[in-house]
Every structure is written in C-alpha cells, then in structure tokens.
Amino acid sequence: MTKIVIIGGGWAGCAAALAASKFGGRIVLLEKTDLLLGCGLAAGIMRNNGRYTAAEELICLGAGEMIAITDRAARHVGINFPGHNHVSLYDTSRVEPLVRETLEKKGVAVLTRSRVVDVVMADDRRIGGVVIDNGSVIMGDTFIEATGSAGPMGNCTRYGNGCAMCALRCPSFGPRVSLSSKAGVADLVGMRGEGVETFGVFSGSCELNR
C-alpha cells in the first residue's frame, strides 16, 4: 500500500491529505505546531472577492469539504468592508478541530508537534524519508511539501520582533525548513519587484509593514 507523507498542516497540507485519502493508501500529515491550518488561524476570512467563485468551483468539482467546514464555523456571513465584499468570517477556535476530525475520519494519521528538519534520500533523485526533530525517521513512497513560503524566522525579525498576528509561533516550534532545498531543489520565492527586498508571496497578516 502506497504511503503518502505530507509535510505542513496548513490549508494546503490539509487539503492535500483530504484529496489523497480519496485514492487509498496510507496518509500521514506532519505539522510542526500543535494546531492545524497555519495562517488560516490568523484571520478566519473566506469567500471574500474572488475566493467566493473559487469556493463555489471547488464545491461543484466535488472538492468542497474544506469550504463546507468554514461555512459551518462561520460567525459572520455576507459582510462588506473596504477592499472586501461578501465576506464570511469563520471562528478560528472552532474550525481547527472540525478539520482535524474530518481528516481522522478519512483515515489520515495527523501528527502534530512533528517538525521535519531533514530528508533521507533514497537515491540522488528521490526522497525516501523525512527526519523529525526528535530524531525519528518517517519513511514513505510519496512526499508532498506544503510548508508554505513563510521562510526562516529572520524574515520576520528583519524589521522588529516579528508579526504580532502570526499563528506559526516560530519561537516555540521553530522556523520553516525547506525540504525542497534539503533535497537539492531550489525554492521558488516571489519578490514584490526588481531590487525590492520584500517577499511577494505573503498573505494577510504578513503584509504589515514592520
């Protein structure tokens, strides 16, 4: 039976685990902190602007489980404020256990407090396993990196003490580790413009000027 290991339990990692569970095999989801959803715990915003269309498309395509969860956990629906229309705001304290419960019912093994720090290469082109910060190794057949683009903690402390809204809690659980770079593949990092030393792929709370 194929074993799929997903590194990173944010929205992307949880969605990947849910999608993989539909095709059989053993699914293991590794998250460095003690909570799933990552930056999805920072604001709880959904269905705003173009996300409304994207949500409806996912539902029509049969991949709307995560959207249904945020709808269930919504505190405010269909509100407008500057720059955002028809917004749903979900309760971040309710949504995480709902997502966790859904994944576990699908047979996904959710391992929190499991920070991946290195890879074990099966050969010069293929990952065979990942190393957890406690020294244990989790082997697998397929690996999906969903650790996001937050980068090392140094990005957040360049202009101060970090973001007060951050849900990643790097001081407690450690900064992101790029498994791609550990395996010899360079990360793709979007920048805001030529000659500008500001990352262009941050969302929400990370857009604050420090």
For residue 27, give its domain range.
3-44+91-207
Which one of 90, 114, 146 terminates a domain? 90
Co-location of 76 and 163 in the same domain: no
For 61-99, the pLDDT digits (tens) are 988 999 999 999 999 999 999 989 999 999 999 999 999
**pLDDT tens-digit profile of 109-152?**
999 999 999 999 998 889 999 999 999 999 999 999 998 766 55
Q: Name the domain count of the chain.
A: 2
Domain check: are 159 and 121 in the same one? yes
Q: Please indicate, yes or no, whether residues 9 and 113 belong to a single structural domain of this protein.
A: yes
In the chain, the amino acid numbered 208 is L
CA pseudo-torsion sign 29, 124, 173, 159: negative
Are 50 and 137 found together in one domain? no
- Do residue 110 and residue 179 come from a single domain? yes
Which residues, in sequence order, are bridge partners of residue 3?
26
24 with 109, same domain: the answer is: yes
Three-state DSSP at 21 gives helix
- 12 and 101 together in one domain: yes
- Asked if residues 29 and 6 have their Cβ atoms less than 8 Å apart, the reply is yes
Q: Please state the pTM of the whole predicted model.
A: 0.84
At 165, the pLDDT band (50, 70, 90 cuts) reads low
Q: For residue 98, give the H/E element and its range.
A: helix 92-105
